[in-house]
């Protein structure tokens, strides 16, 4: 089989980064023709460790990711970074700010940094992030770092992708209790207070530790709090040790790892189902759907019944309620 005859999946499994870039671009463009490649790559994957980095803007997520890249490269591990940027208001593409801040690794063949546009998704991740993880995992990288665009009331999607979630905060980050209200603290496996040389760091760390102690974790994991100076590398050994400890805990407790995988799959299924349903509803070239919508307009069919039929693929021409 020549290189030109190989599918993108074949090329990616052989370590071809250009093929991975091409497939990633097509995934971001929602090209339905890539589905067979993604299905094959998923079945061949499952080896990479996925770390999520989230936190409010200005907490130092990119700088922390940069330090983690250096840490894993010292271990001779191959690293891929998915930096989810705000979408450009003009093109819908990523702003690319995070790639600039991790530029010192640009020439390292063991590092691949890819920016993806959030495209307005509230969860803090690009809609194509799940497929991107599948591609990078199959490419053969050892560690995938996902950096979210920011954090807010709904931005907890990172838990559906990452094996370990690192939540950054700073002493200037406001009332840490807001994290609990947002439901974000519950998805964190490691809490980090960055910019640890700033006044109030010890108070913030103590407050987060107290809140973490009150979080009910079904997996039994005790959430550690790490103080970090990411711009100087201070505290990185403690963060690396916390990551290793969490991954080791999951390996030592198979039920924990299985529950994590099942939770991730459920979240991934929800994203895919929402995308499929959205495409089905927005189609305007399906006369059966248009007829069913007319029936709802005429109130001979109700929206609940039509939505149920779209979900369970009941024939749309069965318009009786």
Q: For position 85, what pLDDT does the model report?
A: 64
Q: How many CB atoms lie within 10 A of CB 222?
A: 10
d(CA 193, CA 180): 16
Give 94's pLDDT tier (boundaries 50, 70, 90).
very low
Percent of the chain with pLDDT over 90: 47
Q: Are strands 143-147 and 190-194 parallel, antiparallel or unpaired?
A: unpaired
| The two structure tokens encoding residue 111 | 């590092």
Helix 303-312 to helix 254-282 angle (10° resolution) is 120
Give 2's pLDDT tier (boundaries 50, 70, 90).
very low
Adjacent-strand bridge partners of 54: 167
Task: Please state which CATH number belongs to domain 45-260.
Answer: 3.40.50.300
Tens of pLDDT, residue by residue over 194-243, are 999 989 899 889 988 988 888 888 899 999 999 999 999 999 999 999 99
Tens of pLDDT, residue by residue over 235-268, are 999 999 999 999 999 999 999 999 989 988 888 8
Contacts of 127 (CB under 8 A, 6+ apart): 119, 121, 271, 275
pTM: 0.84
Query: For the chain, where do the domains classified as CATH 3.40.50.300 start and end?
Result: 45-260
- The dihedrals phi and psi of 229, each to the nearest 5 degrees, come to -120, 80
The rounded Cα 135 to chain-centroid distance in angstroms is 13
Tens of pLDDT, residue by residue over 170-184, are 887 555 555 555 566
Give 286's pLDDT tier (boundaries 50, 70, 90).
confident
Tens of pLDDT, residue by residue over 113-138, are 988 765 544 444 556 888 999 999 99
């Amino acid at each position: 089989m020549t290189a030109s005859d190989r599918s993108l999946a074949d090329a990616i499994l052989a370590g071809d980064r250009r093929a991975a870039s091409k497939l990633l671009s097509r995934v971001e463009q929602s090209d339905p023709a890539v589905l067979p490649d993604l299905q094959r790559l998923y079945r061949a994957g499952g080896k990479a460790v996925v770390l999520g980095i989230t936190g409010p803007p200005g907490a130092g997520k990119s700088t922390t990711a940069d330090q983690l890249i250096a840490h894993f490269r010292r271990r001779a591990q191959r690293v891929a970074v998915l930096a989810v940027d705000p979408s450009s208001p003009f093109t819908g593409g990523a702003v690319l700010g995070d790639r600039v801040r991790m530029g010192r690794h640009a020439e390292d063949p063991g590092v691949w940094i890819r920016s993806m546009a959030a495209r307005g998704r509230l969860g803090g991740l690009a809609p194509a992030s799940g497929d991107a993880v599948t591609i990078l995992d199959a490419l053969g990288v050892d560690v995938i770092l996902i950096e979210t665009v920011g954090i807010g009331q709904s931005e907890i999607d990172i838990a559906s992708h990452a094996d370990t979630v690192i939540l950054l905060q700073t002493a200037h980050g406001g009332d840490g209790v807001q994290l609990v209200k947002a439901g974000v603290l519950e998805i964190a496996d490691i809490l980090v207070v960055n910019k640890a040389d700033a006044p109030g760091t010890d108070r913030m760390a103590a407050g987060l530790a107290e809140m973490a102690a009150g979080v009910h974790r079904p997996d039994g994991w005790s959430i550690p709090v790490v103080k970090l100076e990411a711009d100087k590398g201070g505290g990185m050994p403690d963060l690396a040790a916390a990551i290793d400890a969490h991954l080791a805990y999951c390996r030592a407790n198979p039920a924990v790892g299985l529950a994590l995988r099942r939770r991730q799959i459920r979240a991934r299924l929800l994203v895919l189902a929402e995308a499929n349903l959205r495409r089905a509803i927005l189609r305007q070239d399906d006369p059966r759907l248009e007829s069913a919508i007319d029936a709802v307009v005429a109130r001979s069919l109700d929206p609940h019944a039509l939505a149920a039929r779209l979900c369970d693929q009941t024939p749309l021409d069965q318009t009786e309620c």
